[in-house]
């Protein structure tokens, strides 16, 4: 069946591994980590692969490289082949199979971690790896086969990826006890007027939407602390001096801090449908992922 493929020299698992290392590192020198012998080996092996397939796989760009269209396709094929072989080896030896899940820090900390014991009980031979990734990066890596799953907003999932709905992520205002007396009696958006807030840095979709609503209602948003993630903003709230708009699932971690969760009607517009994003192609190649999909969907639905 594979006589034509294997009758010619130049193709080997070792060469494919070297190609993947160079592609992932973004350059031969980076992949070789300063070792001249490895650098020479990697360059030669990639040249041999290019001769075997009859096409250019990489192009130099500055001090690094970029993959050609053919190179990008081969990179995906080789990584998936190695992943499938590694799964098979681990299953034969009854060793854990690694599964990589990408999500924002808030989703990992407040949705996945509280359910970790139940996930592990149902997947005893799976080693979980969580990566803190922005939504766009998680979806990109899933599409490229660099991670196995992504827990992200449903509207961020594009074909050929598929989305299995987990639930609606709502938002609430979290007020430390010391701020409740002064601000807790105001209605609607007015509760934010002058309230010292911890919020996300930059001008992401959440921050931009909040600023836009506040401007329309002539409400002064008093940002005192900027954070790179919602969990960091929650830490600031626990200190008792600032409030924050956080995903409602943050409530469990703030109970002991004496923080009041306030349901504010205007925050309904910030609700986000969350999904478990999967790659059908990857699941076909790695059958072990089918069971993981079922467990994650069942345990993480809310």
Cβ–Cβ < 8 Å for 273, 154: yes
What is the per-residue pLDDT for 214? 83
Sorted by where each begins, the domain ranges of the chain are: 3-76, 98-169+273-300, 171-270
**Predicted pLDDT of residue 232:** 96
What dihedral angle (degrees, nearest 10) is formed by the CA atoms of 186, 191, 197, 202? 180
The dotted CATH code for 98-169+273-300 is: 3.40.190.10
259-286 pLDDT, tens digit per residue, is 999 888 888 988 999 999 999 999 999 9
Chain segment 66-75, per-residue pLDDT in tens: 999 999 999 9
* Whole-number pLDDT of residue 1: 61
- Give the residue carrying structure tokens 């509760």: 191
The reported pLDDT for the residue numbered 152 is 98
User: Residue 35 corresponds to which tokens in the numbers above?
Assistant: 């070792």
**Mean of the pLDDT values across residues 14-22?**
96
**Class of the CATH-defined domain 171-270:** alpha beta
Domain pair 98-169+273-300 / 171-270, same fold: yes
Q: Would you say residue 106 has pLDDT above 80?
A: yes
Distance set, CA 262 to CA 55, 173, 176, 197, 247 (Å)? 61, 5, 11, 14, 12
**For residue 160, is the peptide bond before it cis, meaning its omega torsion is within 30 degrees of 0?**
yes
Q: Residues 23-32: contacts with CB within 8 Å, 24+ apart? A: 23/58, 23/65, 23/67, 23/71, 23/75, 26/64, 26/65, 27/63, 27/64, 27/65, 28/65, 29/63, 30/64
Assess whether pLDDT exceeds 80 at residue 257. no
The confidence score (pLDDT) of residue 253 equals 83
The CA distance from 165 to 150, in Å, is 12
Which residues, at least 6 apart from 210, have a Cβ–Cβ distance to it below 8 Å? 199, 221, 245, 270
pLDDT at position 77 is: 92
Instruction: Find tokens 């969907």 and name the residue.
Output: 297
Q: For residue 181, what pLDDT band results from cuts at 50, 70 and 90? A: low
Q: What is the mean pLDDT of the chain?
A: 92
Task: Check pLDDT > 90 for residue 137.
Answer: yes
CATH 1.10.10.10 is the classification of domain 3-76: yes
- Which residue, among 108, 206, 122, has the nearest Cα to 150 in the 3D structure? 108
């Amino acid at each position: 069946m594979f006589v034509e493929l294997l009758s010619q020299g130049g193709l080997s698992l070792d060469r494919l591994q070297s190609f993947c290392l160079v592609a992932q590192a973004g350059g031969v020198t980076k992949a070789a980590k300063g070792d001249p012998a490895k650098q020479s080996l990697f360059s030669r092996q990639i040249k041999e692969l290019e001769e075997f397939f009859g096409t250019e796989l990489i192009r130099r760009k500055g001090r690094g490289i970029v993959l050609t269209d053919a190179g990008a396709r081969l990179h995906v094929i080789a990584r998936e082949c190695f992943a499938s072989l590694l799964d098979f080896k681990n299953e034969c030896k009854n060793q854990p199979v690694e599964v990589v899940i990408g999500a924002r820090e808030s989703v990992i900390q407040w949705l996945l971690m509280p359910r970790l014991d139940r996930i592990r009980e149902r997947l005893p031979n799976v080693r979980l790896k969580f990566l803190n990734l922005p939504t766009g990066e998680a979806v990109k890596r899933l599409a490229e086969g660099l991670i196995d799953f992504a827990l992200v907003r449903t509207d961020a999932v594009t074909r050929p990826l598929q989305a299995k709905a987990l639930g609606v992520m709502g938002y609430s205002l979290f007020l430390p006890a010391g701020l409740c007396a002064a601000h807790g009696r105001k209605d609607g958006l007015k509760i934010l007027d002058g309230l010292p807030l911890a919020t996300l840095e930059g001008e992401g979709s959440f921050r931009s939407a909040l600023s836009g609503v506040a401007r329309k209602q002539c409400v002064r948003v008093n940002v005192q602390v900027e954070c790179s993630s919602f969990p960091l903003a929650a830490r600031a709230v626990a200190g008792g001096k600032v409030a924050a708009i956080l995903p409602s699932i943050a409530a469990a971690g703030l109970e002991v801090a004496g923080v009041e969760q306030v349901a504010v009607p205007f925050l309904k517009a910030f609700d986000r449908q969350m999904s478990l994003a999967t790659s059908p192609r990857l699941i076909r190649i790695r059958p072990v992922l089918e069971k993981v999909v079922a467990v994650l969907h069942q345990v993480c639905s809310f």
